[in-house]
Chains A and B, each alone.
Chain A
């Protein structure tokens, strides 16, 4: 049994407020030791999902947070309505990350934030109709496994979609409600153990699968895989006191120099880890538009074709992960990072060709 001091001010981040996430949030709100909880989900409750008329059409995250507030008025809660892949990396910071997601792709994105920010614990859950419930607890450590350590080539391939239609969308999950509720309870129990500070270390980096139909429990110790596709090293992120409105691209490049003029010459690239910049949009009608902005942070009008009114998309050649200083105009270098779609809590990486320095943008 591991004895640690009970956390008195833990912050939780819950990703997903659907089948598992809705009952999970209610249980988390009642746990001792939680000071702050945030819930993220991009969807709204449909008529079929709504348990009362007033809920239909409202964002899941907002409804769930309202329920949490009703259960525990002292808890500081926040709803984030949006896509987790568009969320600034710094906004994932928490003591315990809880995920109730419906795809490997979303879990891979959560895994990235978990490892790169060094979030102490991550409790992931999932259900698989007709009868399987899974809860995995991940913890940091030199040789600790990550979610992607458990994936092989076939798992990555299964996420690939046959995408010859420009507007393909993932199918909805159709698992029974009782599986979601069971998964959420197992997840909340694991969270309570971690918050208490008293738990058997064996629960860490372990996966628990319960087969409801066979009434059997399976435990698997998760192990690090050398061939894991994720670079496990966390980012060493330094906080910046400046918000994206108050720092220009040129000033951001200069951050990599640490005041040295020689190094400033080498600070040649800027990345927003986990995100892409859009340099051009194109439309089925043949229309083109040049811009420089983060993907997922482009306003709908800026993404609408001027002539045909259809939604423009970024072709691969119009995307880039890295801005090279040499390729930017003086006008671009003078633009504040906010003009490129960067938000407070976004993390930027300034590279000099050999190494990168990481900074988290501030709020003021």
Chain B
């Protein structure tokens, strides 16, 4: 890493994103090589849609995305460069072209945090956000389907991060005495 500023940024992204994954029953994050890492594999264990060979729309519980934060990420960001859809390839979503590995979360500002990217990808997989305009949709059939089946969406209502316990942990460790 030849850039001190970007190196510090990457360190912060790793710390924050791994903290998020630790608090999530949905997200598992695997840092790639290098220190600090620039690539991650993100696994989302949530309900989303796939299209089976017979054309039927079915559910799937595991989605995998590759994340790459290139050296010039603080000044230039392209969704297709930062994100790669890894599987399943038969995912059924207006913003994802599974076979090509393309996923579009829309406008991605340079320097967007890794945590924010994870949230945006998750919300897309579970159909909390999706493209409703076919002219710039990666999967037009999915776009049309989503418009006609809005009542069935989102596909997963859980939050990415587990809700915090209502009772402070120290109260529990003190034998239940306040």
Contacts and interface: CB of A to CB of B under 8 A. Distances in A.
Contacts of A157: 107, 109-110
A257 B1 CA distance: 17
Interface string B97-131: 10111101011111100000000000000000001
A271 interface: yes
A309 B91 CA distance: 25
A316 B2 contact: no
Contacts of A14: none
Given A231-B6, A286-B99, A164 B77 contact: no
Interface residues of A, number: 48
Given A233-B4, A282-B100, A317 B77 contact: no
Contacts of B81: 314, 316, 319
B33 A160 contact: no
A321 B68 CA distance: 10
Contacts of A282: 100-101
B4 A231 contact: yes
Contacts of A276: 70-71
A319 B3 contact: no
A284 B101 CA distance: 8
Nearest to A282: B101
A315 B102 CA distance: 7
B127 to A, nearest CB: 16
A279 to B, nearest CB: 11
A315 B80 contact: yes
Contact of A273 (B2, B75, B83): B2
Contacts of B76: 105, 108, 159
Interface stretch (A178-186, A258-266, A349-357): A349-357
Contacts of A229: 5, 74-75, 111
Contact of A164 (B3, B33, B136): B136
13 contacts: A105-B75, A164-B131, A229-B5, A231-B5, A282-B100, A313-B80, A315-B84, A316-B84, A317-B86, A318-B84, A322-B1, A324-B34, A356-B1
B155 interface: no
A316 B75 contact: no
A317 B138 CA distance: 19
B144 interface: no
B18 to A, nearest CB: 19
A160 B108 contact: yes
B80 A317 contact: no
Nearest to A355: B2
Interface in A214-252: 228-231, 233, 235
- Chain A CB within 10 Å — which of B2, B38, B84 has the most? B2
B79 interface: yes
A160 B106 CA distance: 10
Given A159-B76, A164-B106, A229-B5, 4 more contacts: A164-B138, A230-B5, A315-B66, A320-B39
A281 B84 CA distance: 12
Interface residues of B, number: 47
A142 interface: no
Contacts of B100: 166, 282-284, 286, 315
- Chain A CB within 10 Å — which of B66, B77, B81, B99 has the most? B81
B78 interface: yes
A166 B102 contact: yes
B135 to A, nearest CB: 9
A283 to B, nearest CB: 7
B84 A231 contact: no
B3 A231 contact: yes
Contacts of B84: 315-318
Contact of B34 (A160, A230, A318, A322): A322
In the complex, the 9 A-B pairs of residues with the closest C-beta atoms, listed nearest first: A317-B66, A317-B84, A316-B68, A164-B104, A286-B99, A315-B84, A315-B101, A229-B74, A157-B109
B107 A160 contact: yes
A282 B68 CA distance: 16
B137 interface: yes
A108 B106 contact: no
B78 to A, nearest CB: 6
B140 to A, nearest CB: 12
A235 B3 CA distance: 10
Interface in B1-18: 1-6
B35 interface: yes
Contacts of A169: none
A165 interface: yes
A163 interface: yes
A271 B101 CA distance: 25
Interface string A287-326: 0000000000000000000000000011111111110101
Nearest to A233: B4
A351 B66 CA distance: 25
Contacts of A108: 72, 75-76
